[in-house]
């Protein structure tokens, strides 16, 4: 295990890393591609190349680490997701190609025990210096304030301007459908 948390992004190479190497003070390389769904479905979700590694390391340092510094210990639900895993999660046919920032390694899905989904999203929006999008995903008012998770995306350096988009995906208790709203909310008005 080597501490690579201060290694410049452009000097990070998959060939030089061990899965146990630290990529940020509290995150290791393996956490960037670990996903329970991939493990359960036996999908090879390893980081594919140095570009995805660098995007995920940037996300770990600039998004995941500040959240870790301010809140209790947590592991991301998912960061990088290969196309096969994206198809499985989103129930899409073979050949469908996802444009999710997860496929480029620049998005993470998070939950922190004891902190509501909305509170985590609001903290991130107020305290992260930059982000492309923050989404309260799959919040179900019937299941309570900690249902769902927070999706945070941060574009890699040199790959466009971060939009600072804030969205919420909430289950309509009447229809059962998932609805998308602008802003950070945890229930429909």
Percent of the chain at pLDDT above 90?
Answer: 83
Q: Specify if 189 maps to a domain.
A: no
Identify the residue with better confidence: 179 or 125: 125
**121 is a domain residue:** yes
Q: What is the model's pLDDT at position 187? A: 77
User: Tell me, what's the pLDDT at 67?
Assistant: 97
**Residue 187 belongs to a domain:** no
Is 102 inside a domain boundary?
yes
The CATH number assigned to the domain holding 114 equals 3.30.1380.10
Instruction: For residues 152-165, give the mean pLDDT.
Output: 96
Least confident span in 1-10, 11-20, 72-81 = 72-81
Distances (CA, A) of 156 to 104, 111, 164, 170: 9, 22, 14, 28
- The residues, ordered by sequence, that sit 6+ positions from 46 with a Cβ below 8 Å of its Cβ are 33
Structural domain harbouring 28: 9-182
Whether residue 159 is contained in a domain is answered as yes
- Asked whether the predicted pLDDT for residue 159 surpasses 80, the reply is yes
Could you please report the per-residue DSSP string of 14-49? GGG--TTSEEETTEEGGGGT--HHHHHHT------S
As for how many domains the chain has, the answer is 1
Residue 142's pLDDT is: 75
The answer to whether residue 75 sits within a structural domain is yes
Residue 4 lies in a domain: no
140 band by pLDDT with thresholds 50, 70 and 90: confident
CA distance 44 to 158: 28
Residue 1, domain member (yes or no): no
Adjacent-strand bridge partners of 169? 180
So what's the pLDDT on residue 62? 98
- What is this structure's pTM? 0.94
Distance CA 19, CA 145 (A): 34
Average pLDDT score over the chain: 93
Residue 185 has pLDDT above 90, yes or no: no
94-98: average pLDDT: 94
Which pLDDT value is given to residue 189? 67
Average pLDDT over residues 171-184: 89
pLDDT for residue 128? 97
Contacts (Cβ under 8 Å, ≥6 apart) of 84: 43, 44, 45
Q: Are strands 133-139 and 165-171 parallel, antiparallel or unpaired?
A: parallel
For the chain, percent of residues with pLDDT exceeding 70:
99
């Amino acid at each position: 295990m080597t501490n690579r948390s201060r290694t410049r992004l452009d000097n990070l190479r998959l060939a030089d890393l061990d899965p146990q190497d630290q990529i940020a003070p509290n995150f290791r390389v393996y956490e960037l591609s670990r996903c329970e769904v991939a493990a359960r479905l036996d999908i090879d979700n390893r980081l594919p190349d140095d570009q995805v590694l660098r995007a995920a390391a940037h996300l770990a340092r600039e998004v995941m680490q500040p959240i870790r510094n301010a809140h209790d210990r947590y592991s991301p639900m998912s960061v990088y997701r290969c196309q096969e895993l994206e198809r499985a999660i989103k129930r899409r046919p073979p050949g469908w190609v996802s444009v999710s920032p997860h496929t480029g390694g620049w998005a993470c899905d998070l939950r922190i025990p004891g902190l509501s989904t909305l509170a985590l999203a609001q903290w991130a929006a107020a305290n992260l210096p930059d982000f492309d999008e923050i989404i309260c995903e799959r919040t179900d008012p019937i299941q309570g304030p900690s249902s769902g998770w927070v999706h945070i995306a941060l574009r890699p350096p040199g790959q466009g301007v971060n939009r600072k988009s804030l969205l919420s995906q909430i289950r309509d208790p009447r229809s059962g459908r998932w609805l998308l709203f602008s802003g950070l909310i945890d229930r429909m008005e």
